[in-house]
Amino acid sequence: MRVLLLAPPGAGKGTQGKRLAAQFGVTHISSGDLLRDNIIAGTELGTTVQAYLAAGDLVPDAVIEDLLRVSVVEAAHTGGYVLDGFPRTVHQAEQAYLMAQEEGVALQAVLFLRVPDDVLTARLLARGRGADDTEATIRHRLAVYHAETEPLIAAYQARGLLHEVDGDQPIEAVTAACRDALAQVPV
């Protein structure tokens, strides 16, 4: 199973990604987790990307594409993945599409978790993970999402891959709705 979770910041894609990957027995790949692991470990990549995360900006496409390529291809060939947080720009989606074509491992479904902005802001403020969760940064992250990531919704809809799920529900209900959506997908 090769599934992409597309959602604004604070919509719970990390939580749902872990739950769905565990239930389907595939790899959970989170671009945000990979970046944060690098920052914590003090790697060169971590040092490069730290300021982008703190500001709520996206890290450059080339950096994220290099970082994700190996994990995505490896998972695609070993049972599949639930991909959380990548691709996040039109350029990244185009690169991911080319890579999947080369490898013969096309995406099978995109789950779009819809959550209203005011709910997202409240959730992110409550989570307060640190420097990247101040109110100004949260507003900026949402603006970046609307400008850079939202265009992917129409693109995946045009490819017949998009399944919309109401993300403004309790965690278990969202997971169940995701599973229902995936039950219609030939995987």
Which positions touch ligand AMP (CB under 6 A)?
9, 31-32, 35, 52-53, 56-59, 64, 85-88, 92, 141
Cα dist from 78 to 14, 16, 73, 74, 162, whole Å: 21, 21, 9, 6, 24
Q: Closest distance between ligand AMP and the C-beta of residue 84, in Å?
A: 7
Could you tell me the CA-to-CA distances from 59 to 34, 39, 63, 71, 124 in Å, in that order? 12, 13, 7, 18, 20
Q: Which residues, listed in sequence order, are joined to residue 163 by a DSSP beta bridge?
A: 111
Residue closest to ligand AMP when measured from CB atoms: 32
Q: How far is Cα of residue 79 from the mean position of the Cα atoms in its chain?
A: 19
User: At closest approach, how far in Å is the CB of 141 from ligand AMP?
Assistant: 6
Residue 123: CB minimum distance to ligand AMP, A: 12
In the complex, what is the shortest distance from the CB of residue 116 to ligand AMP, in angstroms, rounded to a whole number? Answer: 17
SS3 71: helix
**Closer CB to ligand AMP, residue 4 or residue 177?**
4
Tokens 């995505």 identify what position? Answer: 72
Provide the 3-class DSSP secondary structure of residue 6: strand
Nearest CB to ligand AMP, comparing residues 86 and 156:
86
- Residue 88 contacts residue 4 (beta carbons within 8 Å): no
Comparing CB distances to ligand AMP, the nearer of 86 and 112 is 86
SS3 10: coil
Which of residues 116 and 187 has its CB atom nearest to ligand AMP in the complex?
A: 116
Nearest distance in Å: CB 59, ligand AMP: 4
Measured from the CB atom, the residue of 7 and 180 that comes closer to ligand AMP is: 7
